[in-house]
Amino acid sequence: MADTELNVFRSSLDLVILKALSWGPRHGYAVAEWIDQATSAAILIEEGTLYPALHRLERKRWVETEWGVSENNRRAKFYQLTAAGRAQLRSETPTWLRHAEAIAQALRATAPELA
């Protein structure tokens, strides 16, 4: 994967994870479950992708962590948005929505329009 492709993937994954945390703290498995449900299983995030992304967001100070107990009564690390993470989500979402719609529009095009 080229560097630009990797950067696009990482930044879009970061944004989706921030969205998953926008309703409150979640442990990693719950983040992956939310993404699976929100995308109708079109995007499946494996542990080897999810946890490095969560750690990257923590280094950027967009999320913070706290240990707690999961619904299975197991010790788990919970991730929650910081003010900076919430601001990042708010500022990046409109741009990604515009780009995603523009790409979808281009892919739906059936024939080139002439000027």
What element of type H or E holds 63? strand 63-69
Give the tens place of pLDDT for each residue, 33-87: 999 999 999 988 999 999 999 999 999 999 999 999 988 889 999 999 999 999 9
Q: Is the pLDDT of residue 3 over 60?
A: no
Q: Are 75 and 21 in contact (CB under 8 A)?
A: no
CA dihedral 81, 82, 84, 88 (to 10 degrees): 0
Higher-pLDDT residue of 91, 5: 91
Options 3.30.70.20, 2.10.109.10, 3.90.950.10, 1.10.10.10; CATH for 3-108 is 1.10.10.10
Identify the burial level of 40 via C-beta atoms within 10 angstroms of its C-beta, where 0-12 means exposed, 13-18 middle and 19 or more buried. exposed
Which residue in 8, 3, 9, 10 sits closest to 59, CA to CA?
A: 10
Decide if pLDDT at 1 tops 80. no
Is residue 5 over pLDDT 60? no
Higher confidence at residue 112 or residue 63? 63
Q: How is the chain split into domains, by residue range? A: 3-108
Which secondary structure element, helix H or strand E, spans residue 65, and what is its range? strand 63-69
pLDDT at residue number 115:
64
pTM: 0.85
